[in-house]
Chain A
Amino acid sequence: MFESLFISLQLALVTMVILLCIALPLAYLLAFKSFKGRTMLEVVVALPLVLPPTVLGYYVLLMIEPHSMLGTIWFTLFDSSLAFSFSGMVFASVLYSLPFAVQPMQQAFRSIPRPWLELAKIQGLNIKYTLLKVILPASKGGVLVAAALSFAHTMGEFGVVLMVGGSIPGETKVASVTLFEMVEMQQQEAWMLALILLAVSFVMLSVVYSINRHGLNMVMK
C-alpha cells in the first residue's frame, strides 16, 4: 500500500517538474504571440480536459509500443520498453496534466500589466531577462498554481496510468489503482489509503485557492 503511494508521489513529482519546463514556453507562446495554428495548439493543449482517460491511454499506448517510432528510439537509447514502465507513465501523465500546467501560467502571463512588458523593452532587456526579471516574478502565483494542479491531477490519475503502466506492483502500481484493487478484494485498510489521497488533494487545492485569492499580496511582498 505504502509502496504504491510512494510511486504515486514520485510520479506526480517528476511529472510536475517536466510539465513546468514544457508549459513555460507553451504558455509564453499562447499568451504573447500570434501565429498560424495558435487555436489548434490551444485545442490540443486543452484536449485532456475533456478526453476520456482511456482514449488518451489508448493513443499513448499506440505511441509508445515497442514497434512505434518513440518505442524504438527509447529501446535503442535505454534498452528497455517504454510501455508498462514508470517512464511510460510519466510520458502519459505529462500529456494528461498538460492543460493544468499551461492554462494557469498562460492566464498569469496574460494578466501582466502591459506597461511592465513595455518597460522591459525600454530598459533593453532581452527575452531571457524579460522572463527572469519581469514575467516570472509577476506570475509567481500562476506558476505555483500550475505546479500544485499538475501535481494533484497526476496523483488523481486512474485510467491512463492503469492502461499505460499496467499495474505492476512496485513499479507502476500507483495508489489510486491499489485502492481500487483493495476495495475489490474487500480489504479493510482501504479507508486509510483513501483518506491519504483525499488529504493530498485537499491540501493542494487549498494552496491553489489561497493563491488565487491572496495571490497579489504574495507576489508583492
Chain B
Amino acid sequence: MHHLIQIHVDVGTLSLDVNVNFGNEMIVLSGENGAGKSTFLRCVAGLQEAVGQVHVGQEIWLDSSAGFALPIVQRRLGYMWSEAVLLPWLSVEKNIMLGASDVEKSWFEKLCEQFEINHLLKRKPLMLSTGEAQRVSLVRALCRKPSILLLDEPFSAQAPDIRGRLRMALQGLQQELQIPIILVSHDIEDAKVLAQHHWRMREGKLLSTINTQSNESSKEQTKVEP
C-alpha cells in the first residue's frame, strides 16, 4: 500500500513544503521546535488547510488542483495532539468511545491492557496524571482502527521504564494493523528503536528521509539553503 503526501502551506513565518511517498511503516519525524512538524500533521489530518495532494492508499483525501478535500469526519484517522485532548465531563472509557460505536470489545480490551490504562477507565480526565492522559489519548487514536495514525509526541510525558513498553506495544499494533504511523518525536530513542523511516525536518522542508533498515539515505528533498 502506497501513500503520498505533497503539501504546501504558509503559516505565519513558516513555509511548509513537503513531498513524500511512503508505505505502511513506522515513520519518526523529528526536527527543531517550529520546524513545522505539528503543522505537517495538521495538514495531513485536514485540520489545517493546505495546497497539494494527500493520498492514503486508494483514498484521495486532498486534491487541491481539483478543488477537493475529503471532510475530516470521513477520513479514517487516528490523531493525537501534543497535549492530551480529553473531554472533562466524560469518563476515560467514554472519551475513548467518543464516535466509536463499532469497536470490537476484544480490540478495546487489548489496547487498554497494552497501554496500561485498565485501572483508569472509570475515572474522569481531571483525575489523571499527564502521562496517564497521554496514554488514554493514544488508545483513543487507535481504537477506531484508523487507516493512518498521526501522533504528536505521544510518549513525551511517560516515565522511562514505561516508555519502552509503550514503544513495543505500538510497534506490535502497527504490524497487526498494517497502517502507516507518523510519529513526531524529539526523543532520539524513538527514532532508533521504532523508526523504519526517519524523517528530519527543518524550516518546513524535509532534510532527509532515512530508511533505517537499509541505512540508505535519500536526500533528494534537500532544498533547504545551506
Instruction: Type the 1/0 row for A137-149, where 1 means its CB is closer than 8 Å to any CB of B.
Output: 1100000000000
> Do A116 and B98 touch across chains, with their CB atoms under 8 A apart?
no
How far is it, in angstroms, between the C-alpha of A171 and the C-alpha of B37 when the chains are bound? 67
Q: Contact between A125 and B85 (Cβ–Cβ < 8 Å)? A: no
Asked if A219 and B77 sit within 8 Å, CB to CB, the answer is: no
* A116 adjacent to B87 (CB under 8 Å): yes
Specify the main secondary structure of chain B where it touches its partner. Answer: loop
- Contact count band on B: 20 to 34
**CB pair B73 A121 closer than 8 Å:** yes
Given A123-B99, A124-B99, A125-B99: A219 touches B89 (CB 8 Å cut-off): yes
B1 within 8 A of A: no
Q: Are B45 and A122 in contact (CB under 8 A)?
A: yes
User: Are A220 and B98 within 8 A (Cβ)?
Assistant: no
- Cα A129 to Cα B88 in complex, Å, equals 17
Q: How far in angstroms is the closest Cβ of chain A from B51?
A: 20
Give chain A residues whose Cβ lies under 8 Å from the Cβ of B46.
Answer: 121
B88 CB to nearest A CB, Å: 5
Q: Which chain A residues lie closer than 8 Å to B72 at the CB level?
A: 121-122
Residue A186 at the chain B interface, CB threshold 8 Å:
no
1/0 contact trace for A187-220 toward B, CB 8 Å?
A: 0000000000000000000000000000000011
Considering only residues 52-102 of chain B, those with a C-beta below 8 Å from chain A are 72-74, 77, 79, 81, 83, 85, 87-89, 98-100
Query: Which residue on chain A has the smallest CB distance to residue B124?
Result: A220
Q: Does B47 contact A (CB under 8 A)?
A: yes
* Interface pair B85/A133, CB less than 8 Å apart: no
Q: How far is the CA of A60 from the CA of B73 in the complex (A)?
A: 43
Give the chain A neighbours of B74 by CB distance below 8 A. Answer: 124
Docked-complex contact B88 and A119, CB < 8 angstroms: no
Given the known inter-chain contacts A118-B47, A220-B126, please indicate yes or no for A123 contacting B100, CB distance below 8 A: yes
Please judge, given known A-B contacts A119-B98, A133-B98, A220-B126, whether A125 and B73 are in contact too, CB under 8 Å.
yes
In the complex with contacts A115-B81, A119-B98, A133-B98, A124-B89 CB distance below 8 A: no
Among B125-154, those with CB < 8 Å from A are 126, 140, 144
Q: Which residue of B lies closest to A220 (CB)?
A: B88
Task: Give the residue among A124, A125, A133, A219 with the most B Cβ atoms within 10 A.
Answer: A124
Chain B positions within 8 Å of A131 at CB level:
none
Does chain B have a CB within 8 A of A76? no
Give residues of chain A (92-149) contacting chain B, Cβ–Cβ below 8 Å: 115-116, 118-126, 129, 133-134, 137-138
Q: B89, A122: Cβ atoms under 8 Å?
A: no
Instruction: Using CB atoms, name the residue of chain A closest to B77.
Output: A122
A137 partner residues in chain B, CB cutoff 8 A: 87, 89
Distance in angstroms from B55 CB to nearest chain A CB is: 19
- Nearest CB on B from A207, distance (A): 20
Residues of A within 8 A of B47 (CB): 118, 121-122
Q: Which chain B residues border A121 with CB–CB below 8 Å?
A: 46-47, 72-73
Q: A120-B99, A134-B87, A219-B89 are in contact. List 12 more A-B contacts (CB 8 A).
A: A118-B81, A119-B85, A121-B72, A121-B73, A124-B73, A124-B74, A125-B98, A125-B99, A133-B98, A137-B87, A220-B124, A221-B89
Q: List 10 A-B contacts (CB under 8 A).
A: A115-B85, A121-B46, A121-B72, A121-B73, A124-B99, A219-B88, A219-B89, A220-B88, A220-B89, A220-B124
Pairs of residues from A and B, 7 with the lowest C-beta to C-beta distance, nearest first: A123-B99, A121-B72, A115-B85, A220-B88, A124-B73, A122-B79, A124-B99
